[in-house]
Amino acid sequence: MTSFWLGRGGRALAVLALLGVFTMALPQLIPGDPAIAVLGTQATPEQIALFHSKLDLDQNPFVRFGNWIAQAVQGNLGTSLTTDASIADEFARRLPVTLQLVLASQVIALGLAIPVALRQAWRPNGLMDRIATGISFVLLSMPGFVLGLVLIYLFAVRLSWLPATGWVPFVEDPLGNLRTLVLPALTLGLAEAAIYGRALRSDLVTTLDQPFIHAATSRGMRPGKILVARAFRPSSLSLVTLVGLGIASSIGGSILVETLFAVPGMGRLAQGAILARDFPVIEAVVLVAGCAVVLMNILVDLSYRFIDPRITHGNN
Partner 1 sequence: MATINIALPKAALTKSKTSRRRINTGLLLSILWLAVLGTLSLVSLFWDGLDPIKADFSSPAAAPSADHLFGTDATGRDVFARTVAGARSSFAVAGITLTVGLGVGVLLGTLAGYLGGLFDRVIGILLDSIIAFPALILIMLVVTLQGPSLWTIGSIIGFLTVPSMARITRASTLTLREREFVTAARLLNASRVRIMLREVLPNVAPIALAYGFTVMTVSIVAEGSLSFLGFGLQPPTPSWGGIIADGRTQLAAAPWISLFPAITLCLTVLALNVVGERVKGRNS
In this chain, which stretch among 20-28, 60-68, 90-98, 179-187 interacts with partner 1, using CB under 8 A? 20-28
Under the binding rule (CB under 8 A), the answer on residue 312 touching partner 1 is yes
Return d(Cα 292, Cα 95) in angstroms, integer: 12
Class of residue 261 by CB neighbours under 10 A (exposed 0-12, middle 13-18, buried 19+) = buried
Q: How far is the CB of 255 from partner 1 (least distance, A)?
A: 5
Which residues have CB under 8 Å from 25's CB, separation 6+? 61
At what angle are helices 279-307 and 2-29 packed, to 10 degrees? 160
Binding mask 168-207 for partner 1 (x = CB under 8 A): ----------------------------------x--xx-
Q: Check residue 311 for interaction with partner 1 (CB under 8 A).
A: yes
Q: At residue 141, what are phi and psi to the nearest 5 degrees?
A: -90, 0
Q: Is residue 58 near partner 1 by the rule CB under 8 A?
A: no
Q: Show the site string, 81-100: x = touches partner 1 by CB under 8 A, - = not.
A: --------------------
Size of the site for partner 1 (CB under 8 A): 63
Question: Please, what's the b/e burial string for 99-122 (b: 16 or more CB within 10 A of its CB; e: otherwise)?
Answer: ebbbebbbebbbebbbebbbbbbb
Q: Return the number of the residue (167 or 261) whose C-beta is nearest partner 1.
A: 261
The least CB distance from residue 149 to partner 1, in Å, is 6
Is residue 191 a contact partner of residue 245, using CB atoms and an 8 Å limit? no
If you write DSSP's letter for every residue of 210-238 in order, what string do you get? SHHHHHHHHTT--HHHIIIIIITGGG-HH
Report the residue from 209, 218, 219, 220 that binds partner 1 according to the rule CB under 8 A.
Answer: 209
In terms of Cα–Cα distance, which of 301, 185, 173, 163 is closest to 240? 301
State the DSSP string of 48-75. Answer: HHHHHHHHTTTS-HHHHHHHHHHHHTTT
Site for partner 1, residues 140 to 159, rule: CB under 8 A:
140-146, 149-150, 152-153, 157
CA 163 to the chain's CA centroid:
24
- Stretch of 42-50, 58-66, 79-87, 287-295 lying at the interface with partner 1 (CB under 8 A): 287-295
User: Taking the alpha carbons of 14, 15, 21, 22 in that order, is the dihedral positive or negative?
Assistant: positive
Least separation in angstroms between CB 251 and partner 1: 8
Chain residues 112-141 in contact with partner 1, contact rule CB under 8 A = 124-125, 130, 137-138, 140-141
244 binds partner 1 (CB under 8 A): no
Nearer to partner 1, 189 or 252 (CB): 252
Burial annotation 135-144 (CB, 10 A radius, 16+ → b, else e): ebeebeebeb
Residue numbers of the site for partner 1 (CB under 8 A)?
11, 14-16, 18-19, 22-23, 26, 29-30, 37, 124-125, 130, 137-138, 140-146, 149-150, 152-153, 157, 202, 205-206, 209-210, 249, 251-253, 255-256, 259, 270-271, 274-275, 277, 282, 285-286, 289-290, 293-294, 301, 304-305, 308, 310-314, 316
